[in-house]
Structure 1
């Protein structure tokens, strides 16, 4: 893939790009913001793989057409490896509300315009931009948004590609995040507290240091679920959007993710009213030794974010 520093023409749209470590509440954040009538915000779309993204997506669309019944309830392990990236991409687009034929048309058109197989990161961002623009046209929203997830650590590159983009980074207490990885998603999450601490610290600290301050906002998951009005108002102030009570009632709104979840691991939880019961779960789910280990690695960042340490 081409280096992000390759020559490019900046994209003129003004997306709302969300990010955060896995299990930080990024899906909930996307659904809350999607509740605002001026925004259409989708879950993540993984667009950095494979190398021949364009042709692979088109082939994956054909594969999915021919295996519709087989793919119901499919898991990563049950999808043939050569098709997984493409099938996953198309499924993510459908979670965002696109029809498969929309995906085909956008990819085909952009490949012709770029004269490429959408290899460079810039061309892939153009595809994401086209997806977001189409969703605005389909819904009447003024702006589109999407989850970058952990790719928000590359915020400097995306800020250059989209000079009018704004970024919202949701951060969860890293100890709760570690507990969630170890207890809830052991098949793909961090295998140890040490890994979780280093991974969390990389995303949280590096993103803040690289972010364009005037276009970047950090929010805490804990504030979103305990002080939703204040937290939502901070986000709307960044985005220069008026208040709308729908943000406090995301579970009562229609969202494409709920209609076409494609097995999204957080769709069910995000469809529920705001819930605070998992805050501080690390106190029950981690051992004292694991808590000490996490704080040894990432304690300074926990303190900066207002979480405090267990010994205080």
Structure 2
């Protein structure tokens, strides 16, 4: 398979920095009757993705806790299998069962005569998963969170020439406060680290994405003016307005049924509300705010935060 063999499908690919509202946006859009949008699936690791997934499915399916809804049943795996197990858990959060994962992975491996190694092969598997979920639900397009991988939006746009991208951004100072105050050990530990990480995600995509297929929205607008913001997003995706997107917390979502420790599942299940916008004013010191603005002030200004 050529490295950039394009797919004919039309996915909705969401992205953003961690703690920017990507999970909330995915659940809100998943409420639309014409859309099926799942949480993130990390598919760039391990080197031989196909065999890792198949082995991980077998390991998890054999555990007594696999069907009990215990969120932590996958945390004590051998580190060698962690990436494969993580992939399987993320697929479970999207609503796929073990048999479906086995079938889809085996199908892609057979078609490619490969262990699903290259970037394009990995995206081929994601495309198959998305199309399977679309067929199961009767949706028109399927969607998925790219999360921070939105930084490589041009690579995904070449593989999916009919994909549409929605990049949700959040005031980086609030994001820094969220990481420093509420995020476990995987989050940023200093304001400088948060500022540089935030810049990595917000600087590049808008410059390299196909402009007619890329939309940048602010988290603050989503929670403060949901109707107008979601109208803008649905117009971008070519989908009609539906009131269901304003009532996402009232609908069933695979992520709510199978959170498996997802850090944003609980908060994403609440109705849209402004919450603690501008929390950095209380949670960060003046020196920390000044440090963030010194590092990332240009992008804060471009996005309307300064």
Task: Provide the rounded CA distance (Å) in 2 between the counterparts of 1:72 and 1:66.
Answer: 14
Q: 2 CA distance for matches of 1:77 and 1:139? A: 30
Q: 1:56 is matched with which residue? A: 52
In structure 1, stretches of 5+ residues that fail to align are: none
The question of whether the paired residues in 1 share the 8 Å contact of 2:166 and 2:215 is answered with yes
Deviation readout 1:86-124 (Å, 9 max, x if unpaired)? 111011111111111100000001100000000001010
The RMSD of aligned alpha carbons is 1.5
Matched residues in 2 for 1:131 and 1:107: separation?
A: 9
2:127 corresponds to 1:107: no
**CA deviations over 1:219-266 (Å, ceiling 9, x no partner):** 000000000000000001111111000011110111111111111110
- Which whole-Å deviations, capped at 9, do the CAs of 1:25-46 have from their partners, x for residues lacking one? 0000000100110000000000
CA displacement at 1:69 relative to structure 2: 2.2
- The residue that corresponds to 2:6 in the other structure is 10
Q: For residue 147 of structure 1, report the CA deviation from its aligned partner.
A: 0.1
Task: Supply the distance in 1 between the matched residues of 2:65 and 2:141 (Cα, whole angstroms).
Answer: 35
Which of 168, 183, 188 aligns to 1:170? It is 168
Distance change in 2, residues 1:68/1:82 (3 Å): farther
Describe the SS at the equivalent of 2:166.
strand
Identify if the C-alpha distance between structure 1 residues 68 and 210 changes in structure 2 by more than 3 Å, giving closer, same or farther: farther
Query: Secondary structure at 1:272's aligned position in 2?
Result: coil
Partner of 2:221: 223
| Cα-to-partner distance string for 1:181-218 (whole Å, 9 max, x where unaligned) | 11111411011100110110111011111111110000
Among residues 65, 72, 84, which one is paired with 1:69 in the alignment?
65
CA distance in 1, matches of 2:76, 2:281: 36
Contact 2:133 2:142 in 1 (8 A): yes
In the alignment, structure 2 segments of 5+ residues that lack a partner are none
On the 8 A contact 2:61/2:98 being kept in 1, the answer is no
Determine the C-alpha separation between the residues in 2 that align with 1:96 and 1:77: 18
- Residues 296, 76 of structure 1: alpha-carbon distance in 2 compared, 3 angstrom cutoff: farther
Separation in 1 of the partners of 2:179 and 2:77?
Answer: 23
Q: Distance in 1 between matches of 2:146 and 2:73?
A: 22
Alignment correspondent of 1:30: 26
Q: Match for residue 238 of structure 1?
A: 236
Query: Scaled by the length of structure 2, what TM-score is found?
Result: 0.96
Higher deviation after alignment, 44-53 or 177-186: 177-186
2:269 to 268, 271, 277: 271
Aligned residues of 2:34 and 2:140 also touching (Cα < 8 A): yes
Task: Report the number of matched residues.
Answer: 304
For 1:78, which of 66, 76, 84 is the aligned residue? 76
Please give the alpha-carbon distance, in whole angstroms, between the structure 2 residues aligned to 1:251 and 1:73: 20
Distance between the aligned counterparts of 1:59 and 1:231, measured in 2? 42
Q: Distance in 1 between matches of 2:75 and 2:63?
A: 16
Matched with 1:282 is 280
* 1:97 aligns with one of 89, 95, 108: 95
Question: TM-score scaled by structure 1?
Answer: 0.95
C-alpha displacement of 1:77: 5.6
SS at match of 1:145: strand
Query: 1:206 maps to which residue?
Result: 204
Provide the rounded CA distance (Å) in 2 between the counterparts of 1:73 and 1:247.
27
How far has the Cα of 1:8 moved from its partner? 3.1
> Alignment partner of 2:167: what SS?
strand
For residues 202 and 114 of structure 1, what CA distance do their matches in structure 2 show?
33
